[in-house]
Amino acid sequence: MKTNESHIYVIFGASGDLTKRKLVPALYALFVQKLLPANFALLGVSRSEFSDAEFRESMKKAIISFKEVSDDTQIEPFSQQVFYQHIQFDDGETYQALKQRIEALRAGQHICGNTIFYLSTPPSLYGLIPQHLAAVGLNMQDDGWKRLIIEKPFGYDLASAMALKETLLRDWTEEQLYRIDHYLGKETVQNVLVTRFSNGIFEPLWNRNYVDHVEITSAESIGVEKRGGYYDSSGALRDMVQNHLLQLAAITAMESPSSLEPVAIRNEILKVFQSLRPIKPADVRTNAIRGQYLASTIKQEKVTAYRDEEGVNPASATETYAALKFYIDNWRWGGVPFYIRTGKRLPTRVTEVVIHFKPTPHFLFSQGAVSNACNQLVIRIQPDEGILMKFGMKTPGAGFEVQTVNMDFHYADLSHIRIPSAYERLIYDAIKGDSTLFARTEEVIEAWKFLSPVLEAWKNDPEIPLYGYPAGSWGPETADELVEGKDMTWRYPCKNLSDDGIYCEL
Ligand code: BG6
């Protein structure tokens, strides 16, 4: 892997929100840290008509609004390396013009043939743009590498993901494809690997003998905001579970790779995907719970129901909450339930992985207020990044009462360390040619295979309820019943915020 090789970074969908909020601020952060080569150009491409100067101005504003680094002094020199090209995505002619523009920039900026194409467009263009690029030879690597970064979602279901795979692999090799899943770029997700494989104390316990169950939560307090149109055709399962949460589960469950080589790590991740036990159609009702948020009042403010959000069908049956129980059928995890839940308009924003260890085999101290503590290791992915270990301790005084106490590490305590954004990390990795933290085609296909029975059943079986939950609550109460075991339930990092405790079937 080489760093800092001169290249052109081409962003399709350059007038879109992601470019402004994440991609350009991340590239600027790399520029400030001198992690971009001197001979570098950023070429924004989209349907809108902008001049180079207009595009530069709007990117300068974006860098200031969505700050990744405090240093503003480099904005001017950075923007001198920013250019713009208008295109009609479905018109082959304009790709010739794009090719000429790229060649002119190469000559003017002394850049070799290395090029990254980042698709930040509607998913319907993920097949079309790479085909057009290939038709004008922009996939050929004789004069330098060509890489294609593709945003999620990779397909809408198994059939469309397979079709997209075939289309892409006709003109591009798997090594050229970088399927971005921004969760893999999060520092704390990578820290799951470090926690597991650099500490001798955890790994011996990390299996069916000592782990009772694994819980993964990704809660958001926001609703669908301005993305109602997209979200209504997607839903929580496609938007969060198919990619981010299954990746997180795979990193939590994988075997130790033989090295840090991308292929070694990705092979282990793939094996987890291949071991996911399919949920039988007859079990979907009990093992996959879906919900949709209802209007409510949160801290004296009225919050709209999902069906009244802009761009959403007023009779929508799209889930804004999903919870699954599933198993990983392999030697390490045989019989250990994994629980995943995600939802919009929950009480707080939190993503965490909780390893629930089995209780001691004999309850010596069960006379006290709390019986033997069940140890939990909570890996907090966001927002308060860190690790929390819960364990039982003697309550001082007479008798042997046990209370649960915390050992808590917060990244924020390392005040001298800046946590780079997920996009900054992943963009930099793609520039270096390191695909470790990008999803491989087979992983994505396996994830769709696993979720297909749930998607099918939710679509076709009117008997499977879609539960309403008040915005600001923890989702349908029925989801509590997923978690097996006496007195077992999800970990609730904070209480319901909604004033309205009503849950109903929609
Ligand atoms: C995106 C989803 O992939 O991830 C969004 O499309 C979701 O709906 C977002 O809000 C969550 O990302 P993060 O980094 O804020 O947890």
**Both structure tokens of 215:** 């819980």
Ligand 1: nearest atom to the Cα of 152: 3
Residue 110 CB-density burial (10 A; 0-12 exposed, 13-18 middle, 19+ buried) = exposed
Q: How far is the CA of 292 from the centre of ligand 1 (A)?
A: 17
* The CATH homologous superfamily of the domain defined by 7-151: NAD(P)-binding Rossmann-like Domain (3.40.50.720)
Q: What is the CA radius of gyration of the chain?
A: 24
- Catalytic one of 132, 213, 244, 356: 244
The predicted pLDDT at position 9 comes to 97
Shortest-distance Cα residue to atom 4 of ligand 1: 240
Q: Which amino acid is at 446?
A: E
Residue 471 CB-density burial (10 A; 0-12 exposed, 13-18 middle, 19+ buried) = buried
Check: CB of residue 478 under 8 Å from CB of residue 467.
yes
The predicted pLDDT at position 371 comes to 55
Q: How far is the CA of 486 from the centre of ligand 1 (A)?
A: 33
Spell out the alpha helix ranges (H) of 375-418.
Answer: none
Ligand 1: nearest atom to the Cα of 382: 16
Q: Tell me which of 21, 150, 182, 242 to substitute to probe ligand 1's pocket, judged by most ligand atoms within 8 Å of the beta carbon.
A: 182
356 is an active site residue = no
CATH class for domain 184-356+440-504?
A: alpha beta
The predicted pLDDT at position 366 comes to 64
196: left (phi over 0), alpha (psi -120 to 50) or beta: alpha
φ, ψ for residue 209, nearest 5 deg: -70, -30
Shortest-distance Cα residue to atom 13 of ligand 1: 183
Q: Where are the domains of the chain?
A: 7-151, 184-356+440-504
| Cα separation, 225 vs 320, whole angstroms | 12
Q: Which amino acid is at 193?
A: L
The predicted pLDDT at position 1 comes to 47
φ, ψ for residue 116, nearest 5 deg: -110, 130
| pLDDT tens digits for range 389-448 | 999 888 898 888 888 899 999 988 887 778 889 999 999 999 999 999 999 999 999 999
Number of H helices and E strands in the chain, helices first, is 15, 18
| pLDDT tens digits for range 88-97 | 999 999 999 9
Spell out the alpha helix ranges (H) of 233-288.
Answer: 236, 246-253, 262-275, 284-287
- Tokens 């593709």 — which residue? 150
Q: Which residues lie with the beta carbon below 6 Å from any ligand 1 atom?
A: 220, 239, 351
The predicted pLDDT at position 495 comes to 73
Given a cut of 50, the residues of the chain with pLDDT beneath it are 1
Check: CB of residue 54 under 8 Å from CB of residue 82.
no
Which residues contact residue 361 at a Cβ distance below 8 angstroms, ignoring those fewer than 6 apart?
A: none
Same CATH fold assignment for domains 7-151 and 184-356+440-504: no
| pLDDT tens digits for range 151-165 | 999 999 999 999 999
Ligand 1: nearest atom to the Cα of 224: 8
| Cα separation, 146 vs 176, whole angstroms | 7
| pLDDT tens digits for range 169-187 | 999 999 999 999 999 999 8
What are the C-alpha distances in Å from 384 to residues 211, 223, 349?
A: 24, 21, 10
